[in-house]
């Protein structure tokens, strides 16, 4: 049961990571925040994208290892 809850948490973290990356890319592409050259806006976009990746990658690695263990068993 603990693995099931952990898997759901990892899927939730993947969703949050994708949303953060999407928000960062959306701010960069669809607004003029980067074109204005304001350092705070550029840092915000970079932190959203980097934070999303930081959340996304470990969750994907955990779920990959879990899937490979299921196939071995």
Closest CA to 24 of 64, 56, 53: 53
Give dist(CA 1, CA 35) in Å, integer: 49
pLDDT at residue 1, rounded to an integer: 54
Give dist(CA 35, CA 42) in Å, integer: 9
Residue 32 DSSP code? S
For each of the chain's 73 residues, which pLDDT tens digit applies? Answer: 577 888 888 899 999 999 999 999 999 898 887 778 788 888 999 999 999 999 999 888 888 888 888 888 7
**What pTM was computed for the model?**
0.81
């Amino acid at each position: 049961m603990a693995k099931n809850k952990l898997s759901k948490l990892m899927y939730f973290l993947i969703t949050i990571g994708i949303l953060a990356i999407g928000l960062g890319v959306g701010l960069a592409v669809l607004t003029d925040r980067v074109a204005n050259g304001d350092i705070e806006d550029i840092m915000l976009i970079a932190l959203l994208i980097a934070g999303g990746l930081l959340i996304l990658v470990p969750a994907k690695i955990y779920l990959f290892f879990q899937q490979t263990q299921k196939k071995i068993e």
